């Protein structure tokens, strides 16, 4: 056969085959060609994570670390929206108002879902009815810190002596619910008095502390640890029942001479009520998988937080249990709802 004719026939056969395959493909359902991960995948657009404290705060730091891991796992951006004020209530209110929107999430400490109901006469949301629990993220201790340039005490016992010797001279800053209760508990259990100065978040309180406008701050560990390590602040005690791995030389309040003092906070993720159950389960899976990342776990521990995931049901139970517990703590601290 003529080589040119042979090549022509071969090309014609190839073209006919391609044409037939294209016709067959057109006759099949489009879904049969979809990638498995793309069929009904969620999230399918950016997520918005509300944080009730200022950028640079310890809570914000932990939130952004988690947001980054979720971005990698979900393949969607996670935009952090800071809404500082009212001990986290502003951010919680924004999320509660987004009922049914699974792409809106709240990263919050226990203040909005356990403590604030005892600190405010009325909340702009219902901590149980307006939210779908997702997962716990971490537990966190607090550190009582002072500026060594202006505070000449090196222990809690020395502090108590100074407070009793000079009543009315000392002021401490608080930037969240746990810090507020921590200071009030300290005053109640030691029989001392200090002026509480409220801030929208902890960073500005720390700025005023190092500027000599405050004597003490009950600071979340995420902010206190680097400043203590750098020698800029002096840590007198930690608030929990155990010493922190990141500050092993700093005693607990009980060890430092304040028996029965035990106060820790927790971080968790919530969605607004009304989200589809499968989207709630998917978000819980994303958070749980993120916390299995050794780098994230180590990063949280380095700032004084201990990673701790949960199921949505377990977080719901935690809210119930801790609401009662924080009610007792607020009562012990002698704080009246505002």
Alpha-carbon dihedral of residues 297, 302, 305, 306, nearest 10 degrees? 40
How confident is the model at residue 336, as a pLDDT? 82
Q: Using DSSP, state whether 2 is helix, strand or coil.
A: coil
How confident is the model at residue 40, as a pLDDT? 56
Percent of the residues in the chain that have a pLDDT greater than 90, as a whole number: 66
Joined together, the tokens standing for residue 30 give 């489009």
Report, as ranges of residue numbers, the positions in the chain whose pLDDT lies below 70. 1-40
How confident is the model at residue 207, as a pLDDT? 94
DSSP letters for 128-162: TTTEEEEEEEEEEEEEEEE-TTT----SHHHHHHH
């Amino acid at each position: 056969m003529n080589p040119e004719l042979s090549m022509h026939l071969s090309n014609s056969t190839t073209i006919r085959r391609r044409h037939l395959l294209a016709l067959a493909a057109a006759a099949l359902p489009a879904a049969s060609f979809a990638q498995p991960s793309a069929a009904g995948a969620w999230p399918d657009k950016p997520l918005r994570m509300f944080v009730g404290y200022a950028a640079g705060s310890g809570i914000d730091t932990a939130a952004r670390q988690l947001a980054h891991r979720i971005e990698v796992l979900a393949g969607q951006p996670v935009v952090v929206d800071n809404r500082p004020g009212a001990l986290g209530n502003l951010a919680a209110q924004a999320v509660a108002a987004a009922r049914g929107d699974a792409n809106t999430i709240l990263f919050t400490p226990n203040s909005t879902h356990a403590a604030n109901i005892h600190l405010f006469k009325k909340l702009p949301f219902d901590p149980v009815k307006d939210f779908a629990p997702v997962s716990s993220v971490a537990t966190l201790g607090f550190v009582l810190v002072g500026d060594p340039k202006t505070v000449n005490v090196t222990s809690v016992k020395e502090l108590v002596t100074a407070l009793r010797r000079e009543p009315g001279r000392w002021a401490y800053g608080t930037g969240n619910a746990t810090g507020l209760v921590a200071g009030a508990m300290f005053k109640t259990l030691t029989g001392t008095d200090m002026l509480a100065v409220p801030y929208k978040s902890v960073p500005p309180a720390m700025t005023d502390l190092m500027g000599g406008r405050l004597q003490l701050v009950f600071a979340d560990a995420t902010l206190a640890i680097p400043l203590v390590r750098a020698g800029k602040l002096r840590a007198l005690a930690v608030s929990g029942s155990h010493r922190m791995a990141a500050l092993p030389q700093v005693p607990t309040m009980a060890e430092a001479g304040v028996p029965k003092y035990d106060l820790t906070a927790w971080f968790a993720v919530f969605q607004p009520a009304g989200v589809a159950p499968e989207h709630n389960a998917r978000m819980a899976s994303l958070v749980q998988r993120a916390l299995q990342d050794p780098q994230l776990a180590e990063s949280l521990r380095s700032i004084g937080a201990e990673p701790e995931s949960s199921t949505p049901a377990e977080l719901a139970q935690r809210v119930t249990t801790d609401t009662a517990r924080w009610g007792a703590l607020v009562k012990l601290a002698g704080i009246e709802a505002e």
